[in-house]
Amino acid sequence: MTAREAAPAADGGNVRKGAAKAGAVAIRRRVKRGVYLLPSALTLGNLFGGFYALIAVYNDEYVLAAIAILLAEILDVLDGAVARMTGATSELGIQLDSLADLVSFGVAPGVLAYVFALKPFGAIGGLAAFGFAACGAFRLARFNIQTHILDKRYFVGLPIPAAAAVVATLILFMQESSAVVIFGRELVPPEVASAGVLLGMYLLGFLMVSRVRYRSLKGLEVRRRRPFTILTTLLLALLIVASHPTLVLFLAFVGYALSGPIRTLPFWRKRQPMDASEQAAPSE
């Protein structure tokens, strides 16, 4: 074969290679667009959970409303995990997730707490429920503008899903009555319990908009080797949860909500000093 005859063959091979490469790029783009459907579907499931919770509150089905909020929390966690694993993150997805979180973890818990325990307080109870939702909205907005500059190991302010989980597990613990009943005995009458819910809603709202730092589970290194005692501790914790799940879950989320302020106390700082990244929070 002469050099003149070999030139067209080489050109044809380059064309075929170029076409194959363009086809592969097109397939990857189609797959990438398809991957975005799963996080979006999970986000819409989160939104549906919050919407269903509002319907359940309207029908006086408070336990179902609390369960719907907790299911929305699970979908919210799965949404973020899937988006990070697949790289299917976008500005549209971030904004959609924030709007769904506002409904499911801001509006729905606020309305649930108002109808369940705050209605007797009139305007003060309504203000507590609205303040909870408003602080949640502010918390989400602040997170969106600071998400690229914050230390991934910590949250600034109580995360709104954690605040909503406190409200939802409280309703499950108290069931259909606004009194605190443990092992069949009424320990706190409904009036005192409702006052506690009122103060708790104001406190949760304050913690969401505060500069208090909370440990993020995203920063935990799950793949590292841990002592065998960690496994036995987890098994013991599961047994405790199974014995009285609503009470234990409520106490667990309350403990997380209080962990931020406790970390700021002098005795805790002396015991476990914070690193430089934790001490200096970025400006608003």
Least confident segment among 60-74, 186-200, 208-222, 264-278: 264-278
Measured CA distances, 191 to 61, 125, 188, 196 (Å): 21, 13, 8, 9
pLDDT in tens, 66-116: 999 999 999 999 988 887 787 767 778 788 889 999 999 999 999 999 999
pLDDT in tens, 233-242: 667 767 766 6
Res 255 pLDDT > 80? yes
What is the predicted pLDDT for the residue at 106? 95
Evaluate whether 203 touches 146 at the Cβ level (below 8 Å): no
Evaluate whether 72 touches 53 at the Cβ level (below 8 Å): yes
Q: Which comes out higher in pLDDT, residue 233 or 163? A: 163
Q: Which comes out higher in pLDDT, residue 92 or 185? A: 92
Instruction: Tell me what the mean pLDDT of segment 124-146 comes to.
Output: 93
Separation between Cα atoms, residue 51 and residue 112, nearest integer Å: 12
Q: Which two tokens stand for residue 158?
A: 């109580």
What is the predicted pLDDT for the residue at 18? 57
Taking the model in full, what pTM does it have?
0.76
State whether residue 210 is helix, strand or coil. coil
What is the predicted pLDDT for the residue at 256? 92
Q: Quick count: other Cβ atoms within 10 Å of Cβ 179?
A: 15
For the chain, give the number of residues. 284
Separation between Cα atoms, residue 99 and residue 105, nearest integer Å: 10
What is the predicted pLDDT for the residue at 81? 82
Secondary structure of 218-242 as H, E, C letters: HHCCCCCCCCHHHHHHHHHHHHHHH
Segment of 2-11, 88-97, 214-223 carrying the highest mean pLDDT: 88-97
